[in-house]
């Protein structure tokens, strides 16, 4: 358990690690049974259980299929056991060379110092338009 970090710090650290491409640090405070949900219509749609499933089915896919895919955090809201991240996805789809920018909200649920759940909300049409 991460006793030195509060929930806001845990999510902030995940985003900082993501910006550096450090997947080990990204998953440092993720529970072994995390339920990670990517929105229907998104390239990685589904609910993935466990850190390795998240790495394989979300971050691995995004890294494989997109050039310079990134999330830019604009706002981080502390709601206790829930942390809300609001920002922007950007990237270029490798197969089409088309770029996208889409607003996104992440809802994090934390329990006992670990990320227990994650859910993404974004404009999947904007993402899809870059893929076709």
- DSSP H/E element including 128: helix 124-131
Tokens of 79: 């709601």
Q: What is the pTM of this model?
A: 0.93
Nearest C-alpha neighbor of 35 from the set 111, 128, 125 = 111
Tokens of 64: 């494989």
Estimate the share of the chain in helix, then strand, then coil, as percent rounded to the nearest 5: 30, 45, 25
Tens of pLDDT, residue by residue over 43-60, are 999 999 999 999 999 999
Strands 99-111 and 114-122: antiparallel
CATH class of the domain defined by 7-131: alpha beta
Q: What is the pLDDT of residue 2?
A: 41
Triad 45, 47, 49: Cα angle to 5° = 140
Domain ranges of the chain: 7-131
- The dihedral built from the CA positions of residue 82, 16, 103 and 45, taken in this order, carries a sign that is negative
Tens of pLDDT, residue by residue over 68-94, are 999 999 999 999 999 999 999 999 999
């Amino acid at each position: 358990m991460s006793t030195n970090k509060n929930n806001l710090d845990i999510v902030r650290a995940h985003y900082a690690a993501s910006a550096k491409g450090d997947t080990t640090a990204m998953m440092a405070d993720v529970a072994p049974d995390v339920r990670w949900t990517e929105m229907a219509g998104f390239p990685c749609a589904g609910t993935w259980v466990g850190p390795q499933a998240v790495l394989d089915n979300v971050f691995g896919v995004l890294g494989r299929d997109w050039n310079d895919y990134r999330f830019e955090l604009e706002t981080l809201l502390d709601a206790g056991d829930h942390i809300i991240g609001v920002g922007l996805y950007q990237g270029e789809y490798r197969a089409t060379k088309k770029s996208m920018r889409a607003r996104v909200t992440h809802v994090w649920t934390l329990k006992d110092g670990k990320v227990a759940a994650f859910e993404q909300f974004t404009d999947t049409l904007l993402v899809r338009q870059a893929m076709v």
